[in-house]
């Protein structure tokens, strides 16, 4: 694919900048650039509730969103005993984008926090303090902070809030702003002021005690903040400007909401997200690991994780073959010259690993699969009659990531993309895009993902390709989306330099959105590689190239699935679908022998089954529950004699006694229907 795959949650956009100040004399401390995050929309439960959507599905009316969430939550993470999701009253949380009041509260809280820090630690220096998707943070040059310090800072913030100090806007000249900052000996803020090009410079006063050099917005007074809806969450180290060669700062994270109920809902969400953390579940369920002896960001798929990957890959391949794609396997390395032709060495070098010398020729680990697929296309001359040509590959790529940015399966250094490229004629673009959207819906629907956020990105200021082809391609993308009946937002000028694109974010059981699927039209690589076809007039023409991925990368998508299901995979995906449990290990071993016979028969029919014994039956059942095995088949003397099984479902409890063939038939039906249980 042409686009990098990265973690979805923390993406900053520049909105405004503010200079924060403290003083009982006229001391001024700037707060730098405050930047809003692209929101992660989630509705959070109060008490035991499910996540409610704040945006409607593109394929269903908004009124159905809450009901669909209940259904998704019932499958994603239920342990048969209630897991805190799916009942009672909901609190739907606003976002910075949906609530101007919330954004003002968070912006003001950043200032109030910096004011509190300066009062408690007079020698501290402030740097930047942006709002983010769930609150705000602020970076300080000061001594290391402890959790005890955070409690002191929060108490001081509460005092400032209770004083109901007004926030008053004032305009000053650049010279005046510089004078005030220099008087305070604030080098970080001088740097920030130098980067502010607009004039006049605006100041927001907090009563008579503080002022901010800031573009706003803010609440009218500190009393507009509900102090019970604000919490300081953590402190971490951060380098100034993100540069490791700069000073290490103390970053305090806080969260702020409009009401105390919203804060409680957010805390519940955090607890639920922690319970679903794919790194912890990956260890507990023995799914995968990152082995530091091998290197950071390199994923080891353990047997249970590997079998899930096998099921994913097998389903992916079957669906693609049915949809008219040809499968490819291509090398992990290529001569460096290939990456010069593609432009990656010029424009993507910082994300690529160093080249290696092979018999006096330079080779490069691939960061993308696109050039390989183009080489396969170029192996012969094509006629217009050959189109569309669709090729797909589960291709492993390698991209350089700083060690500090690595995060479980969400940000790694080696990953496998579900990559595909379509070569087509101009008048085939719409139908091919529509086909990709249909395929996306089919594949994602298997996992219960049916609610999406869709963005259509159009031509940026700097781009390649003629006006005519851009217009045709963009119109084709719009028409395909409208044919599907999917709602979408237009990101004007947000396309890649090489073509317009559609990005799709899926919504998980907690209402979080994850960028996975993308469809991109490319006018650049066909030109760079000079690929052509012969038209009906025997003239050589350039084909249209479409990049697309649906899952994004197997590693990252697997991490999303773990958290979506809370490790409790539906029957068709579960690494072990059934455990056969003897009531006792009796002297004659008849029960254990029968268990092994049943397990062998199920395995021969493609069911992932295993026998567990050596403990009392209640312990065996508890162990299976802990490991989230969907089905348990209990075998006692009666079952041995009657050649039956007593079935217990993790989701549904006791199901009953049945012959082995009936058990197998019901498993097959549940797998075919992608059900969670029998």
**Residues recognised as catalytic:** 370, 399, 417, 419, 421, 501, 547
378/302 Cα distance (integer angstroms): 38
477/495 Cα distance (integer angstroms): 12
- Start-to-end CA distance of the chain, whole Å, equals 39
Question: Which region, left, alpha or beta, applies to residue 673 given φ > 0 means left and ψ of -120 to 50 means alpha?
Answer: alpha
302-309 long-range contacts (CB < 8 A, ≥24 apart) are 303/575, 304/575, 304/576, 305/558, 305/575, 307/575, 307/608, 308/558, 308/561, 308/569, 308/573, 308/575, 309/554, 309/558
257/265 Cα distance (integer angstroms): 10
- Greatest alpha-carbon pair distance for the chain in Å reads 94
The answer for residues whose C-beta is within 8 angstroms of residue 168's C-beta and 6 or more apart is 204, 205
Q: Residue 417: beta bridge partners?
A: 395, 553
For residues 457-475, one letter each, b for 16 or more C-beta atoms within 10 angstroms of the residue's C-beta and e for the rest, the string is: bbbeeebebeeebbebbbe
The answer for residues whose C-beta is within 8 angstroms of residue 347's C-beta and 6 or more apart is none
Distances from the Cα of 379 to the Cα of 276, 376, 398, angstroms: 47, 5, 25
Q: Count of alpha carbons within 13 Å of 324, Cβ hemisphere only?
A: 11
- Only one residue has tokens 């003002």, namely 104
Distances from the Cα of 88 to the Cα of 43, 48, 67, 511, angstroms: 13, 6, 13, 17
Whether cis (ω within 30° of 0) applies to the bond prior to 452 is no
Distances from the Cα of 367 to the Cα of 2, 405, 558, angstroms: 10, 17, 20
| Residues 204 and 211: beta-carbon distance below 8 Å | yes
Q: Is 488 helix (H, G, I), strand (E, B) or coil?
A: coil
- Only one residue has tokens 């992916």, namely 316
392/373 Cα distance (integer angstroms): 9
- What is the Cα Rg of the chain in Å? 29
Burial tier of 126 (Cβ tally within 10 Å: 0-12, 13-18, 19+): buried
Burial tier of 362 (Cβ tally within 10 Å: 0-12, 13-18, 19+): middle
- Other C-beta atoms within 10 Å of 451: how many? 24
342/526 Cα distance (integer angstroms): 10
Q: Residue 455: beta bridge partners?
A: 489, 503
The answer for residues whose C-beta is within 8 angstroms of residue 103's C-beta and 6 or more apart is 36, 96, 131, 217
Give the sign of the dihedral formed by CA 384, CA 390, CA 395, CA 398.
positive
562/527 Cα distance (integer angstroms): 41
């Amino acid at each position: 694919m042409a686009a990098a795959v990265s973690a979805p949650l923390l993406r900053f956009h520049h909105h405004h900048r503010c200079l924060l100040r403290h003083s009982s004399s006229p001391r001024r401390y700037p707060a730098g650039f405050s930047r809003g995050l692209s929101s992660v929309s989630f509705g959070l439960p109060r008490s035991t509730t499910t996540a409610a959507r704040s945006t409607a599905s593109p394929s269903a009316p908004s009124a159905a969103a809450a009901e669909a969430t209940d259904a998704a939550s019932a499958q994603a993470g239920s342990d048969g005993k209630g897991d805190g999701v799916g009942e009672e009253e909901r609190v739907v949380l606003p976002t910075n984008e949906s609530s101007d009041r919330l954004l003002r509260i968070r912006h003001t809280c950043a200032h109030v926090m910096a004011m509190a820090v300066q009062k408690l630690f007079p020698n501290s220096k402030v740097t930047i303090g942006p709002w983010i998707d769930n609150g705000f943070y602020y970076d300080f040059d000061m001594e290391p902070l402890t959790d005890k310090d955070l409690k002191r800072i929060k108490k001081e913030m509460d005092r400032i809030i209770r004083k109901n100090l007004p926030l008053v806007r004032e305009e000053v000249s650049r010279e005046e702003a510089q004078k005030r900052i220099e008087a305070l000996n604030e080098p970080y803020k001088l740097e920030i002021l130098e980067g502010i090009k607009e004039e006049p410079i605006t100041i927001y006063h907090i009563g008579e005690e503080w002022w901010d050099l800031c573009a706003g917005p803010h609440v009218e007074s500190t009393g507009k903040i509900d102090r019970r809806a604000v919490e300081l969450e953590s402190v971490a180290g951060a380098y100034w400007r993100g540069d490791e060669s700069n000073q290490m700062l103390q970053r305090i994270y806080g969260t702020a909401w409009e009401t105390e109920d919203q804060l409680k809902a957010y805390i519940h969400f955090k607890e639920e997200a922690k319970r679903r953390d794919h790194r912890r579940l990956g260890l507990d369920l023995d799914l995968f690991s990152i082995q530091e002896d091998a290197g950071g960001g390199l994923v080891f798929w353990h047997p249970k994780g590997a079998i899930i990957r096998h099921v994913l890959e097998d389903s992916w391949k079957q669906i693609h073959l049915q949809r008219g794609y040809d499968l490819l396997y291509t090398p992990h390395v290529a001569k460096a010259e290939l990456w010069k032709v593609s432009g990656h060495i010029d424009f993507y070098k910082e994300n690529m690993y160093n080249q290696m010398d092979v018999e006096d020729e330079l080779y490069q680990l691939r960061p993308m699969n696109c050039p390989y697929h183009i080489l396969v296309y170029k192996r012969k001359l094509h006629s217009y009659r050959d189109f569309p040509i669709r090729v797909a590959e589960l291709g492993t790529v390698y991209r350089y990531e700083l060690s500090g940015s690595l995060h479980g399966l969400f940000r790694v250094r080696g990953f496998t993309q579900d990559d595909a490229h379509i070569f087509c004629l101009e008048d085939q673009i719409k139908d091919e895009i529509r086909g990709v959207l249909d395929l996306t819906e089919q594949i994602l629907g298997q996992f219960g993902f049916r609610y999406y956020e869709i963005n259509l990105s159009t031509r940026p200021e700097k781009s390649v390709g003629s006006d005519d082809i851009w217009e045709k391609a963009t119109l084709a993308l719009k028409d395909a989306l409208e044919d599907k009946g999917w709602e979408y937002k237009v990101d004007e000028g947000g396309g890649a330099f090489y073509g317009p694109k559609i990005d799709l974010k899926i919504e998980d059981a907690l209402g979080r959105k994850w960028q996975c699927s993308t469809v991109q039209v490319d006018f650049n690589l066909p030109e760079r590689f000079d690929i052509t076809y012969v038209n009906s007039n025997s003239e050589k023409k350039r084909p249209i190239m479409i990049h697309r991925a649906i899952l994004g990368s197997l590693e990252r998508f697997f991490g999303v699935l773990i958290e979506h299901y809370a490790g409790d995979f539906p029957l068709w995906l579960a690494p072990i679908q059934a455990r056969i449990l003897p009531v006792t290990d009796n002297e004659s071993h008849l029960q254990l022998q029968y268990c092994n016979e049943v397990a062998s028969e199920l395995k021969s029919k493609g069911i992932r089954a295993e026998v567990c014994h050596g403990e009392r039956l209640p312990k065996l059942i508890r162990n299976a529950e802990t490991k989230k095995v969907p089905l348990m088949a209990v075998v006692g003397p009666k079952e041995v004699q009657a050649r039956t099984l007593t079935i217990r479902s993790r989701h549904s409890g006791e199901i009953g006694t049945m012959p082995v063939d009936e058990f197998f038939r019901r498993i097959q039906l549940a797998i075919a229907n992608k059900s969670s249980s029998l």
